[in-house]
Amino acid sequence: MSNTVKTALLLGLMSALFLWIGQLLGGPQGLVIGFLFAVGTNFVSYFFSDKIVLRSYGAQEVGPDHRLYRIVSRLAVRDGLPQPRCYVIPTASPNAFATGRNPQHAAVAATEGILQILNDEELEGVLAHELSHVKHRDILISSVAATFAAAIMLIAQMARFAAIFGGDRERDRGGENPLALIAMAFLAPLAATLIQAAVSRSREYDADAGGAALVGSPTGLVSALKKIEAGSRVVPLDADPASAHLFIMKPMSISGMLSLFSTHPPTADRIERLLHQSRP
């Protein structure tokens, strides 16, 4: 199954989970409320997520005289994309991300740390990866998934309060069993988090492949991923969990069973796929 099809199925599953919670909490009325809440939260995410995340990291816009802008501009022309805005984040931790609702409103941000440790070939591989996200509107897809997950968690929290403080009244009216509500309130956020992470991992693999194809070789990106992982261990990035999925490498390292909750695939797996892609 392709990553694109998998992403569509996962987002459909996330939407169904969201609406099911609305139905469980309030019947047809809850279903409508759930749908309207989903529309509202996605509207905010669609139009304002880029401005919010750039401001939260203190990103400063740079112009044509900057190394970051020049490489992004060259790659954008090669890929037939509009020129994204370019930002530098004032931190020594090496990382980068793209944001924006579509290619016409895209922005690429890189930390001071990544600009210091990567040579031009490596930085080109990273930025090609980010432009692949832009081209395939992965930022929007990831933002929608993250928004649904956050909304599900909020509604689940409401369900816990309803079960704890309104259980007797619900039973008198023939409503849902409060134990069932409590079970849903804990399981639904877990399911939403797993789905969101799976969506993000699928898009990362595709962006790696798309970036390597854009520059004509995976060599630069492979070398960059190794350096970013090593540098991130030395200087961790203090990232907001709500936007951690945007970065080329997850700021917090997760392994073992907890990797199911990670928005990024293991670096070794990404490198192996890139090298496999380059083999005849």
Question: In a 10 Å sphere around its CB, with 0-12 CB exposed, 13-18 middle and 19+ buried, how is residue 137 labelled?
Answer: middle
Q: Which two tokens stand for residue 5?
A: 């099809």
Which residue has 């079960």 as its token pair?
Answer: 163
So what's the pLDDT on residue 199? 75
Kindly report, residue by residue over 182-237, the tens digit of the pLDDT.
666 677 777 777 777 777 788 899 999 999 999 999 999 999 999 999 999 999 99
pLDDT in tens, 156-195: 666 666 666 655 554 444 455 666 666 666 777 777 777 7
Identify the three-state secondary structure at position 122.
Answer: helix
* pLDDT higher at 184 or 264: 264
**What pLDDT, on a 0 to 100 scale, did the predictor assign at position 170?**
47
Q: 114-149, pLDDT tens digit by residue?
A: 999 999 999 999 999 999 999 988 876 776 676 666
Burial class (CB in 10 A: 0-12, 13-18, 19+), 105: middle
For residue 49, which amino acid is it? Answer: S
CA atoms of 176 and 182, how far apart (whole Å): 10
Distance CA 88, CA 96 (A): 9
* Side chain identity at residue 77, one-letter code: V
Percent of the chain having pLDDT more than 70?
63
Q: Which domain, by its residues, includes 146? A: 3-278
In which residue are the tokens 């984040």 written? 89
Number of domains in the chain: 1
Q: Please list the active-site residues.
A: 130
Under 8 Å between Cβ of 220 and 124: yes
Q: Which of 228, 264, 230 is nearest to 245 (CA)?
A: 264
Does the pLDDT of residue 242 top 80, yes or no? no
d(CA 197, CA 259) in angstroms, rounded, equals 9
What's 93's DSSP letter? Answer: S
